[in-house]
């Protein structure tokens, strides 16, 4: 399936999925998702934990994998993924979106878990997994409702064919436009945040 490049109406019939209670809660989290990483950063930073070279290496590899997934998603979908608007211009179903419906959130999950691994606060890992699962299941309920409202049967067919979280190879390989330059540019602020966090964890290693 190739992306629909026509611009759909920003408003129109609202699907039952979008009107559900869980989707409405997810809408609140979606609009405030910039704050969601806070506990995944503060707990590993503030709680004592043993940091070692091995943890740095393993955590960095997990973070790098998560960022690669994010970059692939942004390159395919565009920087509209950073917005909090309900206005979605096209349904992207090719490349990494053919493997899973939420590659950016999968990337976020890997990145945040990578920082927990670096911190050595291992008891927080299962807590972080559950917290992420609850928050992003609700956000995805809202997003799926919006996409169903806008794209209807086209989205439902994509939803049936593509897993939400656990990637699997698509039945058919579809290609589409990617803007890698814009994706890298849009992630500059994220890379700066990684640098700051790296410094803070180095300070923690020095003084804890």
DSSP 157-170: HHHHHS-SSS----
For residue 204 the two structure tokens come to: 């923690």
Better-predicted residue by pLDDT, 90 or 81:
90
Mean pLDDT of 5-9: 41
Q: Let me know the angle formed at the C-alpha of 120 by 35 and 73, rounded to the nearest 5 degrees.
A: 45
Nearest to 54 by CA among 122, 131, 143: 122
CB of 103 closer than 8 Å to CB of 163: no
Domain ranges of the chain: 16-207
Confidence of residue 12 (pLDDT cuts 50, 70, 90): low
Nearest to 37 by CA among 206, 142, 190, 207: 190
pLDDT of residue 90: 81
Q: What pLDDT digit, counting tens, does each position of 153-188 carry?
A: 999 999 999 999 999 999 888 888 899 999 999 999
In angstroms, the CA 145 to CA 15 distance is: 6
In angstroms, the CA 144 to CA 141 distance is: 5
What percent of the chain shows pLDDT beyond 90? 72
Q: Let me know the angle formed at the C-alpha of 89 by 86 and 92, rounded to the nearest 5 degrees.
A: 105
Q: What pLDDT digit, counting tens, does each position of 117-144 carry?
A: 999 999 999 999 999 999 999 999 999 9
- Report field, pTM of the whole predicted structure over 0.95: no
pLDDT of residue 174: 84
Q: What pLDDT digit, counting tens, does each position of 25-73 carry?
A: 999 999 998 899 999 999 999 998 888 999 999 999 999 999 999 999 9
pLDDT of residue 168: 94
Radius of gyration for the alpha carbons in the chain, expressed in angstroms and rounded: 18
pLDDT of residue 83: 56
DSSP string spanning 74-98? HHHH-GGGG---S-------SGGGG
- The yes-or-no verdict on residue 104 having pLDDT over 50 is yes
Architecture of the domain spanning 16-207: Up-down Bundle (1.20)
């Amino acid at each position: 399936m190739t992306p629909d490049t026509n611009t759909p109406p920003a408003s129109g019939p609202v699907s039952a999925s979008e009107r559900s209670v869980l989707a409405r809660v997810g809408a609140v989290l979606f609009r405030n998702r910039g704050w969601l990483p806070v506990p995944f950063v503060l707990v590993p930073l503030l709680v004592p934990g043993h940091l070692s070279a091995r943890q740095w290496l393993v955590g960095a590899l997990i973070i790098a994998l998560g960022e690669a997934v994010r970059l692939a998603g942004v390159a395919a979908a565009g920087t509209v993924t950073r917005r909090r608007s309900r206005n979605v211009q096209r349904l992207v179903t090719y490349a990494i979106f053919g493997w899973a419906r939420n590659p950016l959130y999968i990337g976020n999950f890997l990145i945040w878990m990578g920082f927990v691994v670096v911190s050595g606060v291992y008891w927080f890992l299962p807590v972080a997994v559950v917290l992420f699962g609850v928050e992003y299941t609700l956000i995805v309920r809202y997003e799926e409702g919006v996409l169903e409202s806008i794209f209807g049967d086209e989205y439902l067919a994509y939803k049936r064919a593509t897993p939400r979280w656990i990637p699997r190879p698509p039945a058919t390989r579809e290609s589409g436009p990617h803007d890698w330059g814009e994706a890298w540019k849009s992630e500059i602020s994220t890379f700066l945040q990684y640098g700051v966090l790296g410094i803070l964890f180095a300070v923690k290693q020095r003084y804890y």
